[in-house]
Structure 1
């Protein structure tokens, strides 16, 4: 990955809808060259997908939280099947340490929170933390800079 690829990734993370034509102008490259770079980054798995960032609050999910699930009472596969089907869950990560899973969820107020916790209790110990503020959210990812020899 060269500096132009890094610039391309930075631009797309700010505006994933930018056209090939606009990208070529910003990068001072031909449209075919930009298209080839995009294709190569997708094939290598650097760009996983293009998507829209949607506001949970604008869709009625005004309470976001992190949930820790520990001391699982059921098989991980059974728990993960439940989590995959639950639309309140935005992210779920199986982790090492005393906590088995970290979950990020967005619910509709305290009633939504209560219902989600009630659904999770049969799977293990549940600990919730409501998100008050997110000073860093969806930070752009850039290539690791290798130290000069």
Structure 2
């Protein structure tokens, strides 16, 4: 049951599934045996549940979280973009183009003062200027762009509350 972006459905899960998901969000490399012990299930039952959660698309994948400073991405910029229009063709063209920029960590269609909010990882402000000049200013339909730089990350998690 793979979903396309923008499609929503609730997958029913119980307290064991929630416990499995909570642990996996924080420790994606935990062994099945350790996971099963942690959530008080047999290894085979735990494995079946993880497979079901993967198949149903609740678990979309597993990643390694990197320290941005150690991979020379010390500058985080949030870019608010307002487009010149709201036609589906323009939105589609913008979204397709922005998805090809490797420095963009996330892009969100917004309700509010801007149409899109981008999170951009750069080496420093000079590198951001390059990203801005070579990529962001060339995005289709951009009417306005406002950038804010993060001074310090106070809270950051990928774990959703369950």
Give the TM bin, normalised by the shorter chain: 0.7 to 0.9
Instruction: Report the counterpart of residue 99 of structure 1 in structure 2.
Output: 114
Instruction: Report the alpha carbon displacement of residue 28 of structure 1 after superposing the two structures with TM.
Output: 2.4
List aligned pairs for 1:83-98, cutoff 5 A: 83-98=98-113
Instruction: Report the counterpart of residue 124 of structure 2 in structure 1.
Output: 109
Q: Distance in 2 between matches of 1:15 and 1:120?
A: 35
Show CA shifts across 1:53-93 (max 9, x none): 12222111110111000133792222222211111100001
Q: Distance in 1 between matches of 2:40 and 2:111?
A: 45
**SS at the partner of 1:48?**
coil
The root-mean-square deviation of aligned C-alpha atoms, in Å, is 1.8
Instruction: Report the counterpart of residue 66 of structure 1 in structure 2.
Output: 78
1:133 to 120, 131, 152: 152
Runs of 4+ in 1 over 4 A off after TM superposition: none
104-113 or 54-63: bigger deviation:
54-63
Instruction: Report the alpha carbon displacement of residue 130 of structure 1 after superposing the two structures with TM.
Output: 0.4
Instruction: Report the alpha carbon displacement of residue 129 of structure 1 after superposing the two structures with TM.
Output: 0.7
Instruction: Report the counterpart of residue 146 of structure 1 in structure 2.
Output: none
* Runs of 5+ consecutive residues of structure 1 not aligned to the other structure: 144-149
**Is 1:57 aligned with 2:69?**
yes
**SS at the partner of 1:26?**
helix
Count of aligned positions:
143
TM-score between both structures, scaled by the size of structure 1: 0.86
**SS at the partner of 2:99?**
helix
Show CA shifts across 1:18-44 (max 9, x none): 010111221222111001110121222
**SS at the partner of 2:20?**
helix
